[in-house]
Structure 1
């Protein structure tokens, strides 16, 4: 069995305090707390690269698990804001900085908010097909590289973070069947404009997509895994905003305590938002449904089941 053994995180120390920007964006503190939910946003250092964030998360993982570099057989980096212009691939830069072996396979995948869930499927399949027993899935998407700080639609939402998930044959969580989806006809809803390399988002379109598509995807994921909503202890959803979390919970008839919102102190961290919550998930849960959705438009869900060790 190949599954999740552990997850380590890296949150940069820098913070943008949104409560100090209420007047600038003509919003109330109530709106900030109940709609976006993001009171502070994490920010990487000025000289900190995507690969540095990746390495920081992996080093925490290696230290916590006493994992030697020579035991890492593959490493996948999920990012859409790579080092430089994406050539060479960021995972190769991470490989060099960490001193991984020449036998270690590394590559990048370009996905946003759905990236962690897609990434779990990619690395699990890659490891099984090659007989690997130790692999790492890294997420790092510092949107501060492309944020327009004057844009109310994006400046109040996105934070920087990185996570490293150890996938191994000694898992704590088994990874279930996946349910994926894409709607490229609306890919422009979240994009980086070529003329100034700044993020642009149609918030209304993204919200409508989330509210209409995600509940059905979650229902199909439950069916694929032979489970009912009542069997799931926690629904860990992408942390787009507090209002999106509240809307999805209401539409699916879920108690808010089963659908955590924990991004208030660091923001929407794209592909890192789901693993940031999983890293601190209590051991009491038996089944956790995870779902990522956003850039693309793209979405994916699966169920994690506690392994009886």
Structure 2
């Protein structure tokens, strides 16, 4: 499961064979994606047949990874790269765990692991502190995979949310909203997506603390230097409940009916100019006003789509007939 063996590297005996089979790392990467997918499927099928043994391996591997320090390899800045030993280990272990837990609770076999083992593993993962964005992303994947055990320990939910939101606002020293590295942006968006997952799949657990969740997201959203437009859109999707739709959609409504948008959508030429298709790219991207325009359009569209995905046709015939008239209008 470890992503090793690239032709350009020497971190595995298989690198020598890869240099014979593949012309470049890109070719090997295509192969490895298929290879890992096949092995993940084997793990899922094995879990259905013998969930106890599958979980035992996943538990032992992850506990072993948790007991180790962060080894970034030869990186001078002490940051993990895609070839760092710690990242490779975390990435493989999280993939293994996700494959096992995706089938653990649907298996009808009798030798399922005791529930307290999964709860203990969740607590161990939550107690681990990761300051590297690549390792933190894998840690979030493990937390996400262990979500089913939250129903056995609902009192752990605040700790889980705290861990996730610490990743939502994760940043490294010296970085600002405009200068965040790709790894930092990825882990922040990953954390936002996990908030959506837990809100969507574990509504009963989230509902009692929804007010606190909503307040916290609103507070960090007020800081203009904290969340990007994409991060705001993702977090909005987690909060789409009818009582808050009006308040959440107000910024989108204000943008959509603004004079800037009216002029931008007036003609093809104006729209192209508004999003910057008719001019050369501007560097740095933070100085690109057209990039800001594009992000505003994307935010509006993604928010509206998120609302539509969480909406359904009214059960009341009178309401639905009124909605039909409104749509025709």
Shorter-chain TM-score category?
Answer: under 0.3
Select the structure that is richer in strand: 1
Select the structure that is richer in helix: 2
Q: Higher Cα Rg: structure 1 or 2?
A: 2
